[in-house]
Amino acid sequence: MQYVIGIDIGGTKIAGALVHRDGQFCSLQQVSTPAQEGPQAVLGATIQLIKSISAVAANEGHEVIGIGIGAAGQINIETGDVTYAVETLPRWTGTRIATPLHEQFGVPVVVDNDVNAMAIAELKYGTGRGFQNSLYVAVGTGVGGALILNGQLWRGTNWSAGELGHMMAVWNGDRVCNCGQAGHLEAYAAGPAMARRYAQLCGLEESTDLRPIVLAAKQGDTIAQDVIVEGARILGTVLSGLVNVFDPQALIIGGGVADLGEFWWMPFQNALRANPLPASKKVQIHLAQLGNNAVLIGAAWLAWEKLI
Ligand SMILES: [Zn+2]
């Protein structure tokens, strides 16, 4: 059987699997991202992972006919290079991904932004099916976005479309984003941003782990509840503006923060719907379906699209 290897290169892990044309996958493997060792180490770990998955495919008599990669950062999909990335992956900006992998493995290699890959996976196989116009938002360790317009990814002039985490959310805000600018949405609404805020308000040592705060909020800690409500409201408010600009059929929300439950969802939806314009009142809101593996499934689909 023919497969594409789908790969997800993130700030903490690199995951890969053999992905069939229908989106089903097998032989899922993952390794930690050697982010601090620099981009060549990250590429080296990716190559080792692809070799390992290829060996499984060969053992089982399968053929690998392409590689699809979803990677953190803004990606020029024509060259497969990283045009810009924040320092979650140090020195990642400028890294060539497609060329060295094509030279190594001799099959077509397609590279796109990880949130673009998630959005295409949801469009083809998940909750985005049936929506020709949707805005995909991933809110987890960062805040990312992707635009599906007329059934296709809109990547922008500089491969930067959908980067909603770096929209100004709080004028004169003092919380600093991963990109270095203060006041950006990601500095308020992402999981680690809320964790940092809670630690600051409680006089605790800085932490980026949201889980204990979620637990505290569930047990009635009002500071924890307020921090989560604030992050949710700011995200909802910024997205209501974007929904009014693009007027999509659906807003699809993925990422770990979206799984926090009602005490995040209620203030988020209330803030989104508070805008009086019809688009933010009427837009459908759906939770993403494909979870952690959406990036590699979507990246593989993008490779299949080139192959067939
Ligand atoms: Zn930023």
- Give me ligand 1 centre to Cα 249, in Å: 27
At 119, phi and psi to the nearest 5?
-65, -40
Three-class DSSP labels, 145-174: EEEEECCEECCCCCCCCCCHHHCECCCCCC
Percent helix, strand and coil across the chain, each to the nearest 5:
45, 25, 35
- Give me ligand 1 centre to Cα 163, in Å: 9
pLDDT, average across residues 237-248: 97
- Give me ligand 1 centre to Cα 55, in Å: 40
- Give me ligand 1 centre to Cα 143, in Å: 9
- Give me ligand 1 centre to Cα 222, in Å: 28
Helices of type H across 181-221: 186-189, 191-202, 211-218
Q: Look up residue 294 and give its two tokens.
A: 């959406």
Q: For residues 256 and 164, state if they share a domain.
A: yes
SS3 call for 17: strand
Q: For residues 65 and 87, state if they share a domain.
A: yes
- Give me ligand 1 centre to Cα 167, in Å: 7
Q: For residues 99 and 185, state if they share a domain.
A: no
Q: For residues 107 and 22, state if they share a domain.
A: yes
Q: For residues 135 and 284, state if they share a domain.
A: yes
56-106 pLDDT, tens digit per residue, is 999 999 999 999 999 999 999 999 999 999 988 999 999 999 999 999 999
Q: For residues 281 and 199, state if they share a domain.
A: yes
- Give me ligand 1 centre to Cα 160, in Å: 13
Q: For residues 75 and 142, state if they share a domain.
A: no
Q: Which residue bears the tokens 């949707």? A: 134
Q: Indicate the burial class of 32 (C-beta count within 10 angstroms; 0-12, 13-18, 19 or more).
A: exposed
- Give me ligand 1 centre to Cα 69, in Å: 24
- The enclosing domain of 299 has a CATH number of 3.30.420.40
Predicted confidence (pLDDT) at residue 288 exceeds the cutoff of 90: yes
Dihedral sign of CA atoms 45, 254, 131, 122 in order: positive
Q: What is the pLDDT of residue 7?
A: 98
Q: For residues 141 and 231, state if they share a domain.
A: yes
**Residues with Cβ within 8 Å of residue 174, at least 6 apart in sequence:** 182, 183
Q: Which residue bears the tokens 């637990």? A: 215
Residue ranges making up the domain that contains 23: 2-119+292-307
Q: What is the pLDDT of residue 101?
A: 98
pLDDT range class, residue 286, cuts 50, 70, 90: very high
SS3 call for 31: strand
The CA-atom distances, in angstroms, between 253 and each of 166, 215, 304 are: 17, 22, 25
- Give me ligand 1 centre to Cα 184, in Å: 5
- Residue type for position 70: G
- Give me ligand 1 centre to Cα 52, in Å: 36
Whole-number Å distance between alpha carbons of 23 and 76? 24
- Give me ligand 1 centre to Cα 165, in Å: 6
- Give me ligand 1 centre to Cα 181, in Å: 5
Percentage above 70 pLDDT, the chain = 100
Q: What is the pLDDT of residue 182?
A: 97
Q: Indicate the burial class of 78 (C-beta count within 10 angstroms; 0-12, 13-18, 19 or more).
A: exposed
Q: For residues 136 and 275, state if they share a domain.
A: yes
Which of these, 50, 65, 132, lies nearest to 97 by C-alpha position? Answer: 50
Predicted confidence (pLDDT) at residue 266 exceeds the cutoff of 90: yes
User: How many domains does one find in the chain?
Assistant: 2
Q: For residues 171 and 281, state if they share a domain.
A: yes
What is the rounded (10 degree) CA torsion for 61, 51, 53, 77? Answer: -110
- Give me ligand 1 centre to Cα 289, in Å: 27
Predicted confidence (pLDDT) at residue 308 exceeds the cutoff of 90: no
- Give me ligand 1 centre to Cα 179, in Å: 4
Q: For residues 152 and 113, state if they share a domain.
A: no
158-187 pLDDT, tens digit per residue, is 999 999 999 999 999 999 999 999 999 999
Q: For residues 12 and 144, state if they share a domain.
A: no
- Give me ligand 1 centre to Cα 166, in Å: 4
